[in-house]
């Protein structure tokens, strides 16, 4: 199954009616990422979202709010401090593999929303990870249900 990758501008808005069809990935910075808006769209209280972000950043590892919300966060230092596509690439590979393996996270559509922090290295890391895991399987089914990835970027 071919995976469609779509890059959209920062005015992208996920229709609340379909947000639960997406596994949403952002970074753990409640004040500048889309973590709180998405978390609240899933009915999670802001205080809970902030505790989640703190845990992700304190442990310095990717965290998921599943099954409470289809929301995964990357530690903010990876996005704001490292600015290294190879470091982020490894985290995106982990997220994509977990999405395929973990029954709580198996979604056909993944939204990478790193707006407010997007730099070329972020788009490079995401597209490199997608190419690594899914492009070799364009002509045959790779066992993944995934059919769409959206990357939100600042203009």
Average pLDDT along the chain: 76
On the question of pLDDT at 151 being above 80, the answer is: no
69 phi and psi angles, rounded to 5 deg: -155, 150
Q: What is the pLDDT of residues 60-103, one digit of tens each?
A: 999 999 888 889 999 988 877 666 678 888 888 888 888 778 77
Measured from the Cβ of residue 115, the count of other Cβ atoms closer than 10 Å reads: 22
Closest C-alpha to 34, from 85, 81, 3, 79: 79
Q: How confident is the model at residue 16 (pLDDT cuts 50, 70, 90)?
A: low
Which structural domains are found in the chain, ordered by start? 4-152 (3.40.50.10590)
On the question of pLDDT at 51 being above 50, the answer is: yes
Q: What is the pLDDT of residues 126-144, one digit of tens each?
A: 778 877 776 654 433 444 4
Model pLDDT, residue 70: 87
Burial 71-85 (b: 16+ CB within 10 A, else e): bbbbbbebbeeeeeb
**What is the mean predicted confidence (pLDDT) over 38-62?**
94
Helix (H, G, I), strand (E, B) or coil at 1: coil
């Amino acid at each position: 199954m071919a995976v469609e990758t779509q890059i959209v501008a920062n005015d992208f808005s996920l229709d609340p009616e379909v947000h639960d069809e997406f596994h949403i990935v952002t970074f753990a910075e409640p004040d500048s990422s889309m973590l709180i808006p998405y978390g609240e769209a899933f009915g999670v209280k802001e205080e809970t979202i902030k505790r989640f972000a703190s845990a992700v950043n304190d442990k310095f590892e990717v965290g998921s709010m599943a099954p409470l919300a289809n929301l995964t966060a990357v530690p903010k230092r990876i996005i704001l401090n490292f600015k290294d596509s190879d470091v982020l690439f490894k985290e995106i590979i982990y997220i994509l593999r977990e999405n395929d393996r973990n029954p709580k996270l198996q979604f056909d559509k993944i939204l990478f929303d790193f707006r407010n922090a997007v730099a070329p290295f972020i788009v490079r890391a995401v597209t490199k990870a997608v190419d690594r895991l899914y492009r070799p399987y364009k002509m045959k089914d790779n066992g993944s249900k995934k059919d769409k990835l959206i990357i939100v970027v600042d203009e």
